[in-house]
Structure 1
């Protein structure tokens, strides 16, 4: 089955049939073996076959109905009228009609050109979880340079989730064993991110450069699409971080044995991780007062733009830190060191600013101070 056919099938499942992308990817081989590789062949197939593949009657019916609708639309004659206008296709983060390159490009994070002197004078307001997310996304660019941005965001969110649960257990807010401790996701490969093992799902047949024009976005290929290895070293395919807690909760929809062996694995989506980053960083109130536009009079659009600028400042500071150490540390050592860096600069639980809940201050000068001086 050619890569283009796989992509076409995944687009049908994720867009038309509304099947979660991770589930769709895990069912490609079974659909291929059953010779159900297009909407047309699926519409002509039997519901029983789909039920055996998806292990979910409702989902199987959903796929079959979508295939019939899609096939009917494609076979219906079309007429052009003088008043009709062709609709423009929009890039979709969920797959849809967008190419992998368009999907990765839509996930792009803000890039700051601020000087080190400017960064040293900036203090941001945030809490711990998004700061962990920002560190993980940045460090992964150096420890797993072949991974595209969608994978880095997914893996970073997996770290945040695991870290948040550990914190909740230590504070007595949650009890019992974690899903991973109970064996959920057992057998899946793992990678280390910020010195924490994360269960991953390999994204076979996904090429983040598919759909890229020859002259398009050459300067940002590495940051968005991942590094292309030219040596003979074996590289991992793009990865998803698996949400093992969601996998555990899936037990409520079936028997424990079914839930543990089902290959429809829930993932951490890069879109949610990106959204979390964009809404989590602002200048401290004292710095905001220095601006020409008082905070209370800012429009939602102005606030959104400011959050993006602040995120760019933070990412650049962490990137400068990683750049200074990458030439002298192995990927494993850099991964371990990064967690210690986060611990050094994270906002204290007692540093919350009045009126801002548990949010605390993060001084970018403290991040820059951790750089290796040549």
Structure 2
């Protein structure tokens, strides 16, 4: 099966039919041998005809239903069901843009938790690796870029995770990237300032004139100061390192460093101008260049941290499940805040940046190696995160 066909089939199974990626990967060869490697072909068979490959009858029915839905939409000239990017764009333009910087910052507020530490240490959440690393990165940036508002930190963190995930997918053969595409993105990035996050260069847009803090506020405090809580005093300790973060800003006053957006070079290479303009409006981005939106990062975090299953059939409603995930995210961020706060006074921002990968590796969920583990989920013990704190 060609790489493009393989990617299309895996995308359909994992995203449209909601089949766990590990299961989807194990069934690709069987589907190919049965000449059922496309939604159009799957739509023409009955669920009972694929139960030899998918013994779970419910899963088989969901796959056939998804195949029919995708096939119908494609026939009507609408392939949005098979295009996550199109679905994301539609959701972006369906909401009104915030009316002020304060409104924008408030709209992406992350959940907070005041769970006692002994209870926090007993908690376990269930997720895959990428959103956990995103949570690590957002928390890290509170200390390495304390002058940046939450919208900027979410955008920058999402850029780091997205570009890292793409590189990993290319290395595993899950995604292909032509040299011409790489060169095109490099040309588009020329002249843009950049920041370095966990050793990776992220191209940015400066948000000149973005006044997100209330009058009289300084440093990191302000709209986001009440969102995740905790380290209000840490920002003052790191002001002297800000000018090292953005290239070409060594001579600038750190207090004058503007808020930043992470530039989405892949979207810039692929997209059309109208799509960019509509998506940017909701994010509060006034330029014509596409960015990693804070809303996408926030949504990803909110939906990613479930509670481990007890093996019993769940009757929890969608709303209740979303509330559980939000609460779990709040507790995870609380544990990460406690970790970074314990080291903030002892380590420089650069040292915190260097240690983050090692901390993440020690607590990330265990999954299979290689392609089989891509997107795999497992338990994350908050006690393991708390154990990394600096001892007094």
TM-score higher than 0.5: yes
1:346 aligns with one of 355, 364, 367? 364
Counterpart Cα distance in 2 of 1:137 and 1:194 = 12
Larger CA Rg, structure 1 vs 2: 1
Conserved in 1, the CA contact under 8 Å of 2:127 and 2:377? yes
User: Which residue in 1 is equivalent to 2:258?
Assistant: 237
User: Which residue in 2 is equivalent to 1:167?
Assistant: 168
Change (3 A) 1:233 1:213: closer
What is the DSSP-based 3-state SS (H/G/I as helix, E as strand, rest coil) of the residue aligned with 2:188? coil
2:267 aligns with one of 240, 246, 263? 246
Higher helix share: 2
- Structure 2: give runs of 5+ residues left out of the alignment: 1-93, 241-252, 275-286, 370-374
User: Which residue in 2 is equivalent to 1:310?
Assistant: 328
Change (3 A) 1:94 1:370: farther
Change (3 A) 1:371 1:235: farther
1:100 matched to 2:101: yes
Q: Which portions of structure 1, spanning 4 or more consecutive aligned residues, are displaced by more than 6 angstroms?
A: 225-232
User: Which residue in 2 is equivalent to 1:322?
Assistant: 340
1:264 matched to 2:288: yes
What is the CA distance between 1:342 and its match in structure 2?
Answer: 1.2
Alignment of 1:40-59 (within 5 A): none
Change (3 A) 1:124 1:302: same
Counterpart Cα distance in 2 of 1:295 and 1:149 = 38
Counterpart Cα distance in 2 of 1:131 and 1:149 = 18
User: Which residue in 1 is equivalent to 2:225?
Assistant: 222
RMSD of aligned C-alpha atoms? 3.2
Normalised to the residue count of structure 1, the TM-score between the two structures is 0.62
User: Which residue in 1 is equivalent to 2:302?
Assistant: 278
**Number of residue-to-residue matches in the alignment:** 259
Conserved in 1, the CA contact under 8 Å of 2:126 and 2:305? yes
What is the CA distance between 1:195 and its match in structure 2?
Answer: 2.6
Counterpart Cα distance in 1 of 2:391 and 2:140 = 19
User: Which residue in 2 is equivalent to 1:30?
Assistant: none
Change (3 A) 1:162 1:93: same
User: Which residue in 2 is equivalent to 1:203?
Assistant: 207
Deviations 1:298-345 (CA, angstroms, capped at 9, x unpaired): 122111110110000110111111001111111111112112211221
Change (3 A) 1:223 1:140: farther
Counterpart Cα distance in 2 of 1:175 and 1:205 = 37
